[in-house]
Chains A and B, each alone.
Chain A
């Protein structure tokens, strides 16, 4: 949902604020747009709605809604820096006091989901309203393996989808994101990813997560996982690197408010053979590179793993957590070129996915396993902090 014209200068929203809710919509077919507008007007007065969209909205159908046309751009599968910058700029121009950003495919969201995300920021009780999607058990695997556990362990946030594409933002949250976006858009990187959860955590803003049920999740246009995984993981690693002074201090994780429903798979377990082949091939060829990044303990763990047969293939959660932490450290100290580093992580991620499928095929609930992985990341955080502070002196 990248919007094209990034604004170079952030102008402060004018005061006084109106009662408006700015809704920034991604491009979608007319019937879906109608559905979203109907959902929005079901809980919020049309007079107070400001809808910014690149699509044509029939004004006779929605005479009371203020429509703000924005330039149409190439669709993106997630929210980008330019979107956040435009959202804040538009909020300032139209005296909105809360912002709802809806990504591609938002028509599949229930009206109650839109209401929850909006109301909490309208009431000013929350700065960042983030959805918890109910995804199929074999979807969102990068999020489950890396994004969620890392965000939870380092930023003490239980947000299950740190890279959510629907967000409710208070004005101050939008301002903070716009400032962070400005750095990217100033160097023509408007398509860069931002991490609202970590921004809110660092700013000390209130984060609230809401279950929104099933949602049509847009997929990246790039069909190859290698490029996308490197891009997303690299962006998160860079964000963690930039916020090191925050997450090194121990923080209390907030209590559980909502747990995603258990999603047992009815289908047969997917074929993990190709993933294991990828791992074995990488084990045979990437030893030299892995040995620059991983300590002997992890290499030993991988050696044992490579000798395991497919049926009993299980990657220990602790091993996975340390692998991710070691790659994060290597990213920080630039042990090798960062492109090479993230490329070398891909076979290990595929090994984790194969292990996850094996574990869930044996009857373990996928959500429970993901929560266990996240908890292990939390438990292993001291290892990361130690190596982050003394990268050369602590290498077990």
Chain B
């Protein structure tokens, strides 16, 4: 009986003390190893990318400096050669004229061409160095190149929108259309919406949603304008057009149905 009790007393504490034993030193070692491995991987990745980044910045800096030098040289040479005067004389009174002098345009264009060249070469160098050194697939690079194209699209679209808006505004004012400003704003926003859709499409953001949204928005604007002019503002438009016809005859160089050179007092601008 004592033996049995002794066995029982021995076995019970054994059962309760055995299950979980926590070794703190081992856990910290495992965590430290994992962190070290992560840090190692990050550092390895950075080290793999760094030469590419360095190559990118070196290429960009070198080509920017070359661009600055070429731009300064071109500016000086064209100024000495009186390029602006020659061009003005040759082109005469052309309708389209840039907002800056041709010499400045050539100089700036050459500078930015070199910057762009530096960007392209830098990106190529970065791509090559990364591809050889890294094992992870890169998805950022094509997106970056698309982003550059999208920025160009955005700039061009904004400039075109502003140019067209001004053209429409001045033309409509000189045609004495009362809704000149609305027309100008409409044209501006149509071009901007088109630009935004093109930019998003170029960035491959949104996919079909953008196309659909653009189609609905653009078509909606055009339909609204058509309905407004065709139905809602029918009387206003007809009055405006009648008024326009009358005023055109008033502002024509020679009023219609009047002899051009009789000694009378018709208004003649020339």
List A residues at the B interface (Cβ < 8 Å): 77, 105, 108, 136-143, 183-184, 186-187, 189, 192-193, 214, 216-220, 222-226, 228-229, 231-232, 234-235, 238, 241-242, 265-267, 270-271, 274-275, 277-278, 281-282, 284-286, 289, 334-340, 343-344, 346-347, 350, 353
Contact = CB atoms under 8 A, between A and B. Distances in A.
B51 to A, nearest CB: 46
A238 B167 contact: no
Given A277-B176, A337-B98, A350-B251, 19 more contacts: A77-B270, A139-B268, A139-B270, A184-B92, A186-B90, A217-B270, A219-B260, A220-B253, A228-B253, A228-B269, A231-B93, A234-B93, A270-B267, A275-B251, A278-B173, A281-B173, A289-B166, A334-B101, A343-B171
Contact of A343 (B89, B174, B176): B174
A216 B163 CA distance: 40
Interface residues of B, number: 47
A217 B246 CA distance: 24
B251 A286 contact: no
A344 B170 contact: yes
The listed residue with most A CB atoms (<10 A of its CB), out of B92, B163, B167, is: B92
A267 B270 contact: no
A136 B263 contact: yes
A286 B263 contact: no
A105 B260 CA distance: 12
A141 B252 contact: no
Contacts of A340: 166-167, 170
B234 interface: no
A133 B264 CA distance: 15
A281 B251 contact: no
Interface string B92-127: 110111111100000000000000000000000000
Contacts of A238: 88, 92-93
Contact of B270 (A219, A334, A350): A219
In the A-B complex, the 4 residue pairs with the closest CB atoms? A338-B97, A343-B170, A267-B265, A139-B268
Contacts of A235: 92-93
A347 B260 CA distance: 23
Contacts of B172: 285
Interface of B: 85, 88-93, 95-101, 163, 166-167, 169-174, 176, 178, 180-181, 184, 246-248, 250-254, 256, 260-261, 263-270
Nearest to A139: B268
A289 B92 CA distance: 24
Nearest to B167: A340
B170 A286 contact: yes
Contacts of B163: 337
B90 A224 contact: no
Contact of A281 (B171, B178, B253): B178
Contacts of B89: 183-184, 242
B268 A219 contact: yes
A226 B174 CA distance: 7
Nearest to A187: B90
Contact of A142 (B248, B263, B264, B269): B269
A339 B96 contact: yes
B93 A224 contact: no
Contacts of B100: 334
A176 to B, nearest CB: 14
Contact of A242 (B85, B169, B254, B260): B85
Contact of B176 (A192, A229, A278, A344): A278
Contacts of B261: 105, 108, 216-217
Contact of A265 (B93, B246, B265): B265
The listed residue with most B CB atoms (<10 A of its CB), out of A136, A137, A218, is: A136
A154 to B, nearest CB: 17
30 contacts: A138-B267, A139-B266, A141-B270, A142-B269, A214-B263, A217-B260, A217-B261, A217-B270, A219-B253, A219-B260, A224-B253, A226-B174, A228-B269, A228-B270, A235-B93, A242-B85, A275-B251, A281-B178, A281-B180, A284-B181, A285-B169, A285-B180, A286-B169, A289-B166, A337-B96, A340-B170, A343-B170, A344-B170, A347-B173, A347-B174
B251 A187 contact: no
Contacts of B98: 334, 337
